[in-house]
């Protein structure tokens, strides 16, 4: 699984792009009756003069927080997850966490002036350059959801993840969302590897 990057203005140098995370693992004893549900995160969108996306639609699907209404900031990237039930976005599993198998976290959005958001993924999402916090395994802005920026602010939104990243305060960019591997075997998760939208790849390996 790969989570999505945070929103950045076009032409942003590679070193200033907050990348989404990566998570992988084995799901054993799958048979022909097993159903898995995959939700793929969308990258955050940058808003402001010359950009058509409204600030309240800038957060990437599956938990990316929206950017500030005053523009010149990016929405958080959405997480990618696999579950055993169909409840839609990751935040809908707040009371059914055991149904989620694996999550790759999305990154926080860049703030005004190109201040980088925190990278997504890993057991803890990245903090942003000025201190917005990434999600962890037990805390963050909310389960499955990065923080939206308050109206009138120009900060970047928090990234989606197992727990989403925060934003605002003295900051101008969002923290990254965390990954999760508790529902798979031999799992691992790392942060800051995926540009663009998230994605998922499932490989079937038959038992010998």
Q: What is the pLDDT of residues 107-127, one digit of tens each?
A: 999 988 778 999 999 999 999
The neighbouring-strand residues paired with 173 are: none
Cβ neighbors of 134 (< 8 A, separation 6 or more) are 108, 118, 119, 120, 124, 125, 126, 127, 140, 159, 165, 175, 176, 177, 178
Counting the structural domains of the chain, the total is: 1
State residue 75 phi and psi, 5-degree precision. -75, 155
Per-residue pLDDT of 12-55, as tens digits, reads 889 899 999 999 999 988 888 889 999 999 999 998 776 767 88
Cβ neighbors of 198 (< 8 A, separation 6 or more) are 1, 2, 3, 4, 20, 40, 41, 42, 43, 62, 77, 78, 79, 80, 104, 106
pLDDT of residue 208: 62
Q: Distance between CA 40 and CA 199 in Å, rounded?
A: 6
Domain that holds residue 124: 1-208
């Amino acid at each position: 699984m790969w989570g999505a990057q945070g929103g950045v203005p076009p032409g942003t140098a590679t070193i200033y792009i907050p990348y989404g995370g990566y998570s992988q693992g084995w799901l054993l004893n799958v048979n022909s009756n097993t159903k898995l549900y995959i939700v793929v995160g969308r990258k955050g969108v940058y808003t402001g003069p010359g950009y058509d996306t409204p600030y309240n639609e800038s957060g990437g699907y599956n938990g990316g927080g929206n950017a500030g209404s005053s523009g010149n900031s990016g929405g958080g990237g959405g997480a990618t997850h696999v579950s055993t039930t169909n409840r839609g976005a990751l935040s809908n599993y707040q009371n059914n966490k055991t149904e989620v198998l694996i999550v790759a976290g999305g990154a926080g959005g860049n703030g005004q002036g190109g201040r980088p958001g925190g990278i997504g993924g890993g057991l803890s999402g990245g903090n942003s350059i000025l201190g917005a916090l990434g999600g962890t395994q037990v805390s963050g802005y909310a389960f499955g959801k990065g923080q939206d920026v308050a109206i009138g602010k120009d900060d970047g939104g928090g990234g989606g993840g197992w727990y989403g990243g925060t934003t605002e305060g003295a900051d101008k960019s969002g923290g990254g969302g965390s990954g999760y591997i508790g529902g798979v075997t031999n799992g691992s998760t790392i942060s800051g590897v995926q540009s663009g939208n998230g994605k998922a790849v499932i490989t079937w390996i038959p038992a010998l």
